[in-house]
Structure 1
Amino acid sequence: MRNPPTSLLNSVDHALQVAILLQQEGPLRLVDIAQRISIAPSTAHRLLTSLVYREFATQDADRLYRPGPMLRPVEAPDPGAQRLWRVARPRMRRLMELVDETVTLLVPVGTDARFISTVECTRTLRVADRTGFVMPLHHTAGGRAILAEKTAEELIELYRDEDVDGRRLHRELSRVRAKGFAINDQRTEKGLTAIGVAVRSPDGPSCGAMALAMPTTRFRADPVQEWVALLKTAAARVEEELATES
């Protein structure tokens, strides 16, 4: 028999109960969730706000809460993600210091992008931590940089069960292939623009991607080439260290 630990944190336990409830029974109203877990509606609202932010829950226009992307079964990420995280962190921090914009790191998981690390910049108006977020790979800047390296046949195979035309996507990514970087101009979030480059594994294919993410109001065309050069330098250093460790 399992007994609750003596150090059980009620807030954490309640959040987990909400996530489980949504996964097993959603969609649900806020008042229903509060009643089921025996907590105040105000407490349920705070928990749900956090769960929505971390993508364990979503709220529709009808104000019903449903399980979010993080509660969907997903393909297991590459086991090299931890090594990529460790090697990339110092380079991400240095890049953030040079540009003073948030830097993100993602890995491809099937047709999704999983953000495994974020280094936030120091500005008041900035892109916040995206660690743990799951987004469609072909919408993110880093994801598009990764996909641009694939052939049309590879994209067709990758998206065979998705509502995405692999051959058309291959044509769309021709400029990304030519320039070596991709821009996400509010594809994933209104008011957010990102520039991404792929990070290649020692074996050749891309194992992840690094991106600069900023408020769209601060994005300008003039410094893009400078930003891209810094991104590519950081990615190259990560690739060199990954190759040394392999």
Structure 2
Amino acid sequence: MDKELKTPPPYPIASVDHALRAATILQMEGDATVAQLAERLGVARSTAHRILAMLVYRDFAVRGEDRVYRAGPVLELAAHSQSLVSRLRATALPHLHRVVDLVGETTNLIVRTGDTVRFIASVECRQALRVGSREGMVFPAHRTTAGLLLLAELDEEELEKAYAPERYRDRPSDRPDLARLRAELRRLRRNGFAVNRERSERGLVAVGVPVRDEDGTALAGLSVSMPSVRYDPHQLQPLVKSLEGAAHALERDFLHQS
């Protein structure tokens, strides 16, 4: 997956984008009403209703007697409202908003699946020049701040499995150099944070820290993204401290709600 693929298409089809985002929400987070989907997608309720009706027609969603929509049979994951991702996202949102208020940059929560990561929550800052929401997007793990942090949690066997050559038979150029990746992951383990300078997207810098469970296992990555012209390396340590404080607060809240 090349980073250029994340550039918006020249002729975007908003209705398709809304439908795909709605399906992702139902699959990863569980039940939702028309009003909730309308708010998440930023569309009118009538528009959300039409999107959901088409998802139901194509078996991507089902509508219960309570008028609540759920993931349909086409979606592989049996998502439900108490899934790990759903609970993690719900717990994290207030903390993401506080980070945005504190540092003035777009903040994200990211989880890993195999060699990719998905942005499960994104809160935009209010600055005119800003990084937009990446919620629902999927990127190669080794090209993102949070992805590198989560890859650093893997042992040698797990890393080899995630990047097995046979998985890249049709796209060999996408497979990272594992020797270089291992060296980078060792540095990240020592530092406890990661910095991504235009690795996933041009003109973007991201800084991230891990979010851990009670056993110390990294569940997700918490990151801030900003235009590269606004990144100041001299402010890196205060920024990392702010992120670590938010991550620890999120960990405590998630533990108490589990």
Q: Same fold (TM over 0.5)?
A: yes
Q: Which residue of 1 aligns with 2:93?
A: 89
Q: Which residue of 1 aligns with 2:218?
A: 206
Shift of 1:127: 0.3
The reply to whether residue 122 of structure 1 matches residue 134 of structure 2 is no
Shift of 1:49: 10
Q: How does 1:84-233 map to 2 (within 5 A)?
A: 84-160=88-164, 161-162=167-168, 163-233=175-245
Aligned-partner residue type, residue 96 of structure 2: M
Q: Which residue of 2 aligns with 1:47?
A: 13
Compared with structure 1, are the counterparts of its residues 74 and 189 closer, same or farther at alpha carbon in structure 2 (3 Å cutoff)? Answer: farther
Aligned-partner residue type, residue 222 of structure 2: M
Task: Report if aligned partners of 1:152, 1:167 keep a CA contact under 8 Å in 2.
Answer: no
Partners of 2:142 and 2:78 in 1: CA distance: 17
Shift of 1:48: 6.9
Query: Does the residue aligned with 1:106 lie in a helix, a strand or coil?
Result: strand
Q: Which residue of 1 aligns with 2:247?
A: 235
Gaps of 5+ in 1: 1-29, 31-43, 56-72
Partners of 1:45 and 1:153 in 2: CA distance: 43
Which consecutive segments of 4 or more residues in structure 1 shift more than 4 A?
Answer: 48-51, 73-78
Deviations 1:108-129 (A, max 9, x none): 1221111111111110000011
Mean alpha-carbon deviation: is it higher for 195-204 or for 162-171? 162-171
Gaps of 5+ in 2: 1-8, 22-73, 169-174
Deviations 1:210-230 (A, max 9, x none): 101000000111110000001
Task: Report if aligned partners of 1:151, 1:170 keep a CA contact under 8 Å in 2.
Answer: no
Task: Report if aligned partners of 1:159, 1:165 keep a CA contact under 8 Å in 2.
Answer: no
> Highest CA radius of gyration, 1 or 2?
1
Q: Which residue of 2 aligns with 1:12?
A: none
Aligned-partner residue type, residue 224 of structure 2: L
Partners of 2:219 and 2:88 in 1: CA distance: 8
Partners of 1:211 and 1:86 in 2: CA distance: 16
Greater per-residue helix proportion: 2
Identity level (%): 37
Partners of 2:77 and 2:229 in 1: CA distance: 36
Q: Which residue of 1 aligns with 2:33?
A: none
Compared with structure 1, are the counterparts of its residues 76 and 49 closer, same or farther at alpha carbon in structure 2 (3 Å cutoff)? Answer: closer
Shift of 1:149: 2.1
Aligned-partner residue type, residue 163 of structure 2: Y
